[in-house]
Structure 1
């Protein structure tokens, strides 16, 4: 049985037809590749909230005071946030260096052995099903434009996309998300009027809301199923917290 009613399928087709008008296609293809900023934000936010609430849960299970929770929590925010930002910076730097080196290599190869590079283009598109005169026209068109030639080789031979990532921007976005969202589970511990149990459950509710919101954001970036992504993120975050809580309870007799 079809998951969608005829009316829903009709609306979907109408929307798709509108999106595939020649002018819409041209405008869409001329746009630069999507930025990774949202991905960097989601990465930092999820890790920040999970690790900080894991500390809260573990400390609650072990029976630690609110002062210990705050010290451990904020120390984790700064140290782990910085570590994650550095890791993301290095990863983006490696991608950029790979692109630069591959571009330099292809530019040199095109200058020294142009026929060999043309043959690579020819074989790449032959494997895609182009043959005869059509294949030769494709090869001639691509190799007539040096930048297009290089970009095609980067994508087809090295698997390097057109998207270019700024390492510093990636690091700052990850660190900001980690610290801002990771601080949410600690907010109840800043209020002196709550007892330890109330602080923990308030932290759990706030963290659950944060996990759900992060999942929604992740769903908007990566797929159409935003609600599914939100629920999955909430479940994963809850599992991490449950493990930390269990470890805290198991070890409390050894550390208290």
Structure 2
């Protein structure tokens, strides 16, 4: 197993493979958006189900509240994610414009910034001077270097629309799962709630496990952590609904 992994890494680091990988355009991953939408969707709808069950609401009321929250909160989260990514992209563009302006107005100062950046990396003497000259020779390379090295900004192309769409779809699909038992007729209230609980727990666990596979983390550790976080939110909603029913006599 170790030898096959080593062989795969060697092929991945073949000069031609490296060249193709570096020349390929960088793309933003949709996985974080999907995870964000899925977790929040499942938490939102199961929190509604838990609160409704704790308050003694009927299955029909829980279903209506669940779907209303699913659509409204899913759309709200998608818009919020769109605005966040758009703001991030605009921030990168503003920083790029400032660096172009600085190169026009104070080129020697910008070269000194490059010099100090790479001096901190261990370059010195004639080698450092050649690095500075090479980078400052190409204006776009110069600006991109300043964006990443000075400002710590990523060069990956960001798509607000894609982020919003992925978030919204993941929110709807995963968030609808805990509502399925409430859409089926002829099930006792306790059985509906327990079925919804089991589905929500499974969703949280699977989301955490998927996250671990994408980011190379321990599978069960990530799954259980996501399960505990989602369960805490649902438990708080159930407690809130139960206390509201006890204090105010809310029951439908």
Match of 1:65 among 58, 63, 74: 58
Following superposition, the deviation at residue 226 of structure 1 comes to: 3.0
Match of 2:218 among 206, 218, 225: 225
- Give the equivalent residue in structure 1 for 2:117: 124
- Give the equivalent residue in structure 1 for 2:18: 25
Match of 2:29 among 16, 24, 36: 36
- Give the equivalent residue in structure 1 for 2:42: 49
Q: Secondary structure at the match of 2:123?
A: coil
* Preserved CA contact (<8 Å) 1:36 1:170: no
TM-score, with length taken from structure 1: 0.90
Following superposition, the deviation at residue 136 of structure 1 comes to: 0.8
1:143 aligns with 2:123: no
Give the gaps of 5 or more residues in structure 1: 1-7
Match of 2:160 among 163, 167, 174: 167
Match of 1:190 among 183, 189, 192: 183
- Give the equivalent residue in structure 1 for 2:104: 111
Following superposition, the deviation at residue 222 of structure 1 comes to: 2.6
Please give the alpha-carbon distance, in whole angstroms, between the structure 2 residues aligned to 1:69 and 1:32: 47
Please give the alpha-carbon distance, in whole angstroms, between the structure 1 residues aligned to 2:137 and 2:84: 34
- Listed as ranges, the matches of 1:74-113 within 5 Å are 74-113=67-106
Following superposition, the deviation at residue 122 of structure 1 comes to: 0.7
Q: Secondary structure at the match of 2:186?
A: coil
Answer with 110-119 or 57-66: which moved more: 110-119
Kindly report the root-mean-square deviation, in angstroms, between the aligned alpha carbons of the 2 structures. Answer: 1.8
* Preserved CA contact (<8 Å) 1:54 1:241: yes
**Which consecutive aligned stretches of 4+ in structure 1 deviate over 2 angstroms post-superposition?**
8-36, 220-228, 246-251
Answer with 209-218 or 175-184: which moved more: 209-218
- Give the equivalent residue in structure 2 for 1:5: none
Give the gaps of 5 or more residues in structure 2: none
Answer with 8-17 or 41-50: which moved more: 8-17
- Give the equivalent residue in structure 1 for 2:205: 212
Please give the alpha-carbon distance, in whole angstroms, between the structure 2 residues aligned to 1:104 and 1:168: 23
Please give the alpha-carbon distance, in whole angstroms, between the structure 1 residues aligned to 2:81 and 2:227: 24
Following superposition, the deviation at residue 14 of structure 1 comes to: 4.6
Q: Secondary structure at the match of 2:71?
A: helix
TM-score, with length taken from structure 2: 0.92
User: How many residues matched?
Assistant: 249
* Preserved CA contact (<8 Å) 2:95 2:147: yes
Following superposition, the deviation at residue 163 of structure 1 comes to: 1.1
Q: Secondary structure at the match of 1:159?
A: coil
Encode CA deviations 1:196-229: one digit per residue, 9 max, x unaligned.
Answer: 1111111111111211221122223333323322
Q: Secondary structure at the match of 1:204?
A: helix
